[in-house]
Structure 1
Amino acid sequence: MTELQTIILAAGPGLRMHSQRPKPLHKLGGIALLDWVLRAAHADGASTTTVVIGHKPELIREALRAWPAVRLAVQQPLLGPIHAVACAVKALGMVHGTYLIVPADLPLLRPATLRRVVAEHTRSGAAMTLATAVVPQPYGYTRVFRQQGRLTHIVEERDLSPEQRRAREIAGGVCAFAAAPLREILGTLDWREGERDRTLPDLVALFKKRGLAIHTVEAVQPGELMGVNSQTQLAEAGVLMRQAKNEELMAAGVTLEDPATTYVGPDVEVGPDTVLHPNVYLEGRTRIGTACEIHSGTRLVDSEVADHAVVLNHCVIEESQIGSHATVGPFAHFRPGTRVGPEAKIGNFVELKKTTFGRGSKANHLTYLGDAIVGERVNVGAGTITCNYDGTTKHQTVIEDEAFIGSDSQLIAPVRVGRGAYIAAGSSVTDEVPADALAVARSRQVNKEGWARERRKKAHGAE
């Protein structure tokens, strides 16, 4: 098997993004552009993967901590993409086989396309194999020109003549090279500052001048080679990515009432017969089960929703779990570490944080439960608060099965409410409540007969 060295170009400043953030770290679908390319490259079977860094290298280094096997090559000064390739080739030393070059701004690139490029390069024995695509709107991209089907040259957008601008075949910078001729040609180039940056068309011209064979491979999907060079192109890539994900879900039996306003992340899983209403946001590694219903305005991040659960409008669910046949919302907020059991009910304006909420339990209105363990078939009345923070430390509240918490109660942690116990409305509970007991922790009501009438008289007399 031919040894494969993958080189990812992530050194450029990305000036057209007009951003302080390096272009490879801009996110699409919640994932950095560089990570998208690394995902694709990781599946190509390379012996090594090298990322070329240059602009704000400390930020790229930090982002690459999640990829410990990736090597780094530094490009300084920044003299264009071919100089970046030369820096990586020098850092790799004398290797044999194939170099696979991939820009870091191709988030839609598929592993299958990289495999096809490498396979064609190996099969043909070409010195260079270039990935191309025919796209409906090629503006901004390098164009490919042929005679009798064979590649003759490629031209960057800025150098195109009016006639050439009508060409729709583009080269996105993905290419494979035989190691020996690439090293030889790179060794002849002068990298003095002040000269025009050398780009892929220059390298193609040098290979053609030497009579070296150049083959091409068409991308699986045209959008794969549409690089992200501006905020507009980032948004356009986002539309294509969301469309592809939504089509995948609908083909698997998921109902999207309005795909144009449904935002589902690339790593999200949704079961068949689930309904996603407009303006739903599913992010991270969220998993939605079968026959669920997620209503408008809801955002779920890295969370799990079991079969037949319903999440009503405008809920925010983060790093939490919702059991089967449970109902949540509207306007509920689950902070990380929350687990809601099967058939439970969480109503409007209820916030849970690091709380386990048992099967069939209910908290229907205006409640905060933090650092709590709530058993099964518990009723939590409106306005209940677990006072879990004493200014220094978080403390736990435990409410055992079948307890009843009256409205407007404060449970001052650490505290335990026993099985089947009742808390009277308006209580501030500081001590353990035994099983089946009634806890009343409020001032006794005092009625002062005629007090209001006398007050009104005094008020009128003062006038």
Structure 2
Amino acid sequence: MTHSSQDKAVPSSIPGLGVIIMAAGLGKRMKSALAKVLHPVAGRPMVMYVLDIACGLAEQGVAVVVGHQGTEVRKVVEAVGGQVAVAEQTKQLGTGHAVLQARPVFSGGAHRRPSRYLILNGDTPLLTEATVRELLAMHDAQGAAVTLLTAVLDDASGYGRVIRRRRDEWLQGAADNAVQSIVEDKDASEAERAVREINVGTYVVDGEFLFPALDKLDPRNAQGEYYLTDIVQMAVQQGRTVSALRLREIDEGLGINSRVQLAEAEQVIRQRIREQWLEAGVTMRDPASTWIDAEVTIGRDTVLYPNVTLEGRTVIGESVVVHSGTRITDCAIGDRVEILDHCILRES
């Protein structure tokens, strides 16, 4: 039995790149006993989407910083294996403190001495590898100390603001209108809160700059925390280049902090999955009502009727017909099989 996929070449890793994923947050607004980064999106813990990017890019290892429900998050992360390691943030002292906990992971010899670090949040499942590669390319081309991902929002409330040299020109993106700092919402002045360009929370940082800068962080701010964002102003003060890539697809920057945002992310991911399989030769009579988890595999020339649900690690062969109302979970279906309406199949 053969199975269709996107048939794309696997992109190569980036020489000299280490990746740090922040996954220690409590996620109070989720109102859940489950750690935020373990909430499923299209059948997978949201942190796994970020790990996919990290593992595809990192040559010098991946460090995942865990904290709240660290044991549970560790189990999920360590199951990935390979070059993924876990660091623990025992006290929640801010994003800068979280990244600092990853330092021992990258102190194990020449093979773990990145020339630059990619820093990601574990609650951004919509971020794409293509965007991250573009961010890395900008960082390298400009010889930057820090390169950050930004977005422009109509309502920037709650987000850190990107402060540029001339605020009246920030929307025009003038080449010489350089980033000066990032100001967190709780620390922002009225004028700074009027800025609509926000920090997404994805960074590339020079390998020689990152940890020495983190050692100098000062928690004297509105939240009493060590802000990772303060390294931007440090770089500027040292005369280093700070670059910024503005997202074209704002959805990619969506961090999951509430059940509403989780539902929004679910819709985006599921639409991406549907488009992936449509492009791979699968027919859907009503795509909007077709529910396909991220780890499902479907063969070409398969036809899915309305209200079909494919869950878990289900594998569907080629030229299969699945009629309306059927739910298939963790099953392997051979080629040229017809499944009638309203069937429920599990682990077969």
Residue 114, structure 1, aligned to residue 128, structure 2: no
Match of 1:104 among 83, 98, 122: 122
Match of 1:236 among 239, 264, 276: 264
Measured against aligned partners, the alpha-carbon deviations of 1:250-303 in whole angstroms (never above 9, x if no partner) come to 334433233222111223233444332232111233233344322232111232
Secondary structure of the residue aligned to 2:52 is helix
1:195 Cα deviation from its structure 2 partner: 6.1
1:200 Cα deviation from its structure 2 partner: 4.1
**Partners of 1:287 and 1:205 in 2: how far apart?**
50
Match of 1:188 among 205, 213, 216: 216
1:206 Cα deviation from its structure 2 partner: 2.7
Match of 2:95 among 60, 81, 89: 81
**Partners of 1:216 and 1:75 in 2: how far apart?**
28
Match of 1:249 among 264, 277, 282: 277
**Partners of 1:62 and 1:79 in 2: how far apart?**
23
Could you tell me which runs of 5 or more consecutive residues in structure 2 were left unpaired when the two chains were aligned: 1-13, 167-173
Amino acid at match of 2:214: L
The alignment's TM-score, normalised by the length of structure 2, stands at 0.81
- Mapped contact 2:314–2:329 kept (Cα < 8 A): yes
Q: How many residues align?
A: 320
Amino acid at match of 2:328: L
- Mapped contact 2:78–2:85 kept (Cα < 8 A): no
Secondary structure of the residue aligned to 2:232 is helix
Secondary structure of the residue aligned to 2:63 is strand
The structure whose RCO (Cα within 8 Å, separation 6+) is larger is 2
Secondary structure of the residue aligned to 2:87 is strand
- Mapped contact 1:12–1:80 kept (Cα < 8 A): no
1:209 Cα deviation from its structure 2 partner: 3.0
**Partners of 2:106 and 2:214 in 1: how far apart?**
14
Match of 1:175 among 203, 206, 217: 203
Amino acid at match of 1:75: Q
Amino acid at match of 1:63: V
Name the residue aligned to 2:53: 40
The alignment's TM-score, normalised by the length of structure 1, stands at 0.62
Q: CA distance change for structure 1 residues 96 and 40 in 2, over 3 Å: closer, same or farther?
A: closer
- Mapped contact 2:219–2:227 kept (Cα < 8 A): no
Match of 1:8 among 21, 25, 37: 21
Residue 31, structure 1, aligned to residue 49, structure 2: no
**Partners of 1:233 and 1:223 in 2: how far apart?**
10
Q: CA distance change for structure 1 residues 46 and 225 in 2, over 3 Å: closer, same or farther?
A: farther
**Partners of 1:202 and 1:290 in 2: how far apart?**
53
**Partners of 1:135 and 1:251 in 2: how far apart?**
31
More helix by share: 2
The worse-fitting range, judged by mean Cα deviation, of 205-214 and 30-39 is 205-214
Secondary structure of the residue aligned to 2:26 is coil
The worse-fitting range, judged by mean Cα deviation, of 12-21 and 84-93 is 84-93
**Partners of 1:136 and 1:274 in 2: how far apart?**
42
1:201 Cα deviation from its structure 2 partner: 3.6
Amino acid at match of 2:49: W
Name the residue aligned to 2:310: 282
Could you tell me which runs of 5 or more consecutive residues in structure 1 were left unpaired when the two chains were aligned: 321-463
1:51 Cα deviation from its structure 2 partner: 1.0
Name the residue aligned to 1:264: 292
Residue 59, structure 1, aligned to residue 72, structure 2: yes
Measured against aligned partners, the alpha-carbon deviations of 1:51-82 in whole angstroms (never above 9, x if no partner) come to 11121221122222312332222212210111
Cα RMSD, aligned residues only = 2.9
Measured against aligned partners, the alpha-carbon deviations of 1:56-115 in whole angstroms (never above 9, x if no partner) come to 221122222312332222212210111101221255338351121111111122222222
Secondary structure of the residue aligned to 1:107 is coil
- Mapped contact 1:295–1:314 kept (Cα < 8 A): yes
**Partners of 1:298 and 1:10 in 2: how far apart?**
36
1:214 Cα deviation from its structure 2 partner: 0.6
- Mapped contact 1:98–1:176 kept (Cα < 8 A): yes
**Partners of 2:61 and 2:194 in 1: how far apart?**
39
More strand by share: 1
**Partners of 1:154 and 1:10 in 2: how far apart?**
21
- Mapped contact 2:43–2:295 kept (Cα < 8 A): no
Amino acid at match of 2:253: L
**Partners of 1:200 and 1:250 in 2: how far apart?**
41
**Partners of 1:101 and 1:57 in 2: how far apart?**
19
Equivalent residues in 2 for 1:58-457, closer than 5 Å: 58-69=71-82, 70-93=84-107, 95-134=113-152, 140-146=158-164, 147=166, 148-149=174-175, 150-158=178-186, 169-190=197-218, 196-219=224-247, 221-320=249-348
1:175 Cα deviation from its structure 2 partner: 0.5
Q: CA distance change for structure 1 residues 91 and 47 in 2, over 3 Å: closer, same or farther?
A: closer
Tell me which structure has the larger Cα radius of gyration: 1
Q: CA distance change for structure 1 residues 308 and 67 in 2, over 3 Å: closer, same or farther?
A: closer
1:191 Cα deviation from its structure 2 partner: 6.0
1:193 Cα deviation from its structure 2 partner: 12
**Partners of 2:226 and 2:315 in 1: how far apart?**
46
1:49 Cα deviation from its structure 2 partner: 0.7
Q: CA distance change for structure 1 residues 92 and 122 in 2, over 3 Å: closer, same or farther?
A: same
Amino acid at match of 1:130: L
Q: CA distance change for structure 1 residues 138 and 276 in 2, over 3 Å: closer, same or farther?
A: farther
Q: CA distance change for structure 1 residues 164 and 256 in 2, over 3 Å: closer, same or farther?
A: farther
**Partners of 2:158 and 2:220 in 1: how far apart?**
27
